[in-house]
Structure 1
Amino acid sequence: MTTVPSATTYDAYADFYTALVQAMLDDQHGFWQATRAVFDARLQGRLPGAVVLDVACGEGHLGRHLTQFGPDRVTGTDVSTALLERARGRAEPYGGQLQYLHDDAQTLTCIDTASVDVAVSNLAIMDIPDHARVFAAVRRVLRPGGVFVFSMMHSCFEAPFDEQGQFLMDPDQPERRAAYTIRRYATEGRWFAGKEGMRSRVGAHHRTLSTILCSLLEAGLTLTHLSEPVTVTGDLGGEVPRTLVIEVRA
């Protein structure tokens, strides 16, 4: 398995990804908003005056959002220079609160040991080849008692799907999603979706929930919270979570 993500892969789809993120954030009743609400609930009391690290920050939306809670500074790191350019272009209104560094989430070589109070990462772990190295790198840079809150596509429900489709559709309402179709969960590894979307372009790395949790413990991190946010729309998203938010402490 490749141990370093291809920066050129993400650079090539930077415009597509940035537009996708904006569309998700604009959907006030979507799963991105439900996921971000968990970050707010878990972190707003910890952020005033804190040194924050946004791991695999992409175009920087989470770091920008968290500045409202008064951190001392937020540093975003990403392997994609194109996404970092977009993040820096959006940082000007926030003064010196935001900075961005080109770095691999699997090593975080630009970040000093025990220098971070709060680390975050939003919907990126499944895009990184070696999640265990990410957890070890985050553990190294966290100060004692520091926290790491990250979200990921839910391993149990956003498992690898193919051209047959991710959902069963309601026969009476063909546009309505009635249920998930889970065809492969136990087999871990890289996969690509068969249809248009981010997963068809860059793929993802599937791991079972037990693999994720055990890897956190092996990195020396203590589980303190786990959330499975659902939407308030009354459809399938209100019953089956698309994302998982995990909080651990050094």
Structure 2
Amino acid sequence: MMPGPADDFARANARFWTGYTEEYLAEHGGTLGEEQLLWCPEGLTEDLAGLLGKVDGRDVLEVGCGAAQGSRWIAAHGGNATGIDISPGMLAAGRAAVEQAGLAVTLLEADARRLPFEDASFDTAFTAFGAIPFVPDPERIFLEVARVLRPGGRWVFSTSHPMRWVFADDPAPSHLRVVRPYFDREPYLETDEGGLAYAEFQHTLAALVGGLVAAGFRIERVLEPEWVEGNEHVWGSWSRERAPYVPGTLIVSARSERAD
């Protein structure tokens, strides 16, 4: 794939997340935790959801791994964990945490739209809010994940619910007013003195489902998580007060139907 605008977005987001690593982990690291795989700000963990199935002895890829919280959970539960991320800063934090925990996790700097692996390399792939909201073409990620999964492999992702895009980015229910069209094709962009600094994209439900089907996946589960009892952490516009009114997260579990 030739370089293009999507690569400009990728470079900007790589710089953003590297510069934001320390602040992000200071604010959310305690909620992300060291001993759990958190799927979403609502507080749903893998221990509660059971989306990945058996990971012990399996080859598992985390796409957009950030500081590798999910990959560390996989390794701690006996899986052969590999994580990729576009941000050198996040990966450095992840490597330090992996070393401190004494775990075996492979972490690589890579674009989720160009995975640096041979075909049929993994049994399972997942992402918890990684990559998908930050690319204009999630279908490219789905195609790459399908390529590197073994036949029947599982792909689980959580991402911003498409309905979240239309409302103001505020955790208070009183701010639930429509500020953007659901079918908005324009990304949310931030700039600084160096130019483009951050990019985030709306992906409709039809776009996500259509991309999965086109990549050869069979959808098995779809979740719109409700707020987990006892979770008091506010994460951007995600909050306990706002959660009953509109879903903030979409989670999809799918199987590869690709044959050898």
Query: Shorter-chain TM-score: what band?
Result: 0.7 to 0.9
Q: What is the root-mean-square deviation of aligned Cα atoms in Å?
A: 2.9
Instruction: Read off the aligned partner of 1:187 and give its amino acid letter.
Output: D
Matched with 2:193 is none
What is the count of residue pairs matched by the alignment?
Answer: 230
2:56 to 27, 48, 56: 48
Say yes or no: does 1:187 pair with 2:187. no
Displacement of 1:94: 4.4
SS at match of 1:19: helix
Matched with 2:17 is 10
Q: How does 1:118-137 map to 2 (within 5 A)?
A: 118-124=124-130, 125-137=132-144
SS at match of 1:17: helix
Give the percent of matched residue pairs that are identical in Structure 1 and Structure 2. Answer: 28
Q: How does 1:151-190 map to 2 (within 5 A)?
A: 151-156=158-163, 158-160=164-166, 165-167=168-170, 176-178=172-174, 180-183=176-179, 184-190=181-187
Matched with 2:211 is 215
Structure 2 vs 1, CA of residues 31 and 179 (structure 1 numbering), >3 Å: closer, same or farther? farther
Matched with 2:68 is 60
- In 2, are the aligned partners of 1:160 and 1:206 still within 8 Å (CA)? no
Unaligned runs of 5+ in 1: 170-175, 194-200
TM-score normalised by L of structure 2: 0.78
CA distance in 1, matches of 2:152, 2:25: 33
Structure 2 vs 1, CA of residues 241 and 180 (structure 1 numbering), >3 Å: closer, same or farther? same
Say yes or no: does 1:147 pair with 2:154. yes
Structure 2 vs 1, CA of residues 95 and 38 (structure 1 numbering), >3 Å: closer, same or farther? closer
- In 2, are the aligned partners of 1:88 and 1:100 still within 8 Å (CA)? yes
Structure 2 vs 1, CA of residues 214 and 75 (structure 1 numbering), >3 Å: closer, same or farther? same
Structure 2 vs 1, CA of residues 203 and 38 (structure 1 numbering), >3 Å: closer, same or farther? farther
Say yes or no: does 1:224 pair with 2:232. no
Structure 2 vs 1, CA of residues 38 and 139 (structure 1 numbering), >3 Å: closer, same or farther? farther
CA distance in 2, matches of 1:136, 1:180: 35
- Structure 1 stretches of 4+ with a deviation exceeding 4 A read none
- In 2, are the aligned partners of 1:58 and 1:84 still within 8 Å (CA)? yes
CA distance in 1, matches of 2:202, 2:5: 14
Matched with 1:83 is 90
Listed one character per residue, the Cα deviations across residues 33-67 of structure 1 (whole Å, up to 9, x for unaligned) are: 63334785112x32111100000111111112233
- In 1, are the aligned partners of 2:81 and 2:106 still within 8 Å (CA)? yes
